[in-house]
Amino acid sequence: MNERLLGAVEDRTDDLVALTADLIRFPTVNPPGEAYRPCAEFLGERLKKLGFETEFIRAEGAPGDSDRYPRVNVVARLDGRSPGPCVHFNSHIDVVEAGDGWTVDPFAGVVKDGRVYGRGACDMKGGLAASVIAVEAFMEAYPGFPGAIEISGTADEESGGFGGVAHLARLGYFSKPKVDHVIIPEPLNKDRICLGHRGVWWAEIETKGE
């Protein structure tokens, strides 16, 4: 199993780089929440071509949501040939502001010296691209797989996720029996897999010294 699947993944190395660069080119900066819709639609169209049923869910009323900056999420699902568990890959599509000090355009998706440069290359459009490529490889290696696969691109993780995963969770998108397992390729390090997340904590710290 592993050799067949890993071979299919290795054959898609160039596709992984290209998809990561394509996603970076959507300047989904949060705040204010730019380019969510076109980024979600781009992802949805790619998954439709693989046979996924795609849905776009706007988190109306969520913090920051407006007609100018709609909090748009995409959820795509592909059912296998027989019943079985559903594995859901979730990634956020928003990124923090680019900041200073760049030597390349942070939203150009530059590939140089074997690396992809851009805001979101690590956190976490690279992870989103890896999910898509992994699923494509899995589908090639095991076309008759049981169960189901879901992939989502969600909004607002950088500001608490209220217009993204929190909104979808309230609607039951991650609950059984719809979904059995969720994998989030958020960047930590290559040797660590975490089984939970405590959420976000904002604080103001004031210190005194001599």
2-183 in CATH: which number?
3.40.630.10
Query: Pairing relation of β-strands 86-92 and 72-79?
Result: unpaired
Predicted structure pTM score: 0.91
Measured in degrees and rounded to the nearest 5, phi and psi for residue 5 equal: -70, -45
**Is the pLDDT reported for residue 12 higher than 90?**
yes
Tell me, what's the pLDDT at 202?
A: 80
205 CB-near residues (< 8 Å, 6+ apart): none
SS3 118: coil
Catalytic choice (65, 94, 150, 158): 94
In the chain, domain spans: 2-183
Query: The dihedral of CA 201, 63, 167, 184: what is its sign?
Result: negative
The one-letter amino acid code at 207 reads: T
Tell me the per-residue pLDDT of 154-171, one tens digit each, with 9 for 90 and over: 999 999 899 999 999 999
**Cα end-to-end span (Å), the chain:** 63
Q: Is 12 helix (H, G, I), strand (E, B) or coil?
A: coil
User: Is residue 203 packed enough to be buried (19+ CB in 10 Å), middle (13-18) or exposed (0-12)?
Assistant: exposed
- Of the residues 65, 136, 150, 157, only one is catalytic, namely 157
Dist. CA 100–CA 5, nearest whole Å: 40
129 pLDDT above the threshold of 90: yes
The proportion of the chain whose per-residue pLDDT surpasses 70, expressed as a percent, equals 99
What per-residue confidence (pLDDT) applies to 1?
60
pLDDT at 194: 83
Segment 6-12 shows an average pLDDT of 95
Mean pLDDT for 189-207 is 81
Q: Is 157 a catalytic residue?
A: yes
Q: CA–CA separation, 114 vs 208, rounded Å?
A: 46
- pLDDT tens digits for range 42-76: 999 999 999 999 999 999 999 999 999 999 999 99
Please give the average per-residue pLDDT across 81-99, as a whole number: 97
Q: What are phi and psi of 24, to 5 degrees?
A: -60, -30
Give the whole-angstrom CA distance, residue 99 versus residue 13.
29
Q: Is 206 assigned a catalytic role?
A: no
Tell me: pLDDT of 199 over 80: no
Mean pLDDT value of segment 139-162? 96
pLDDT in tens, 108-127: 999 999 999 999 999 999 99
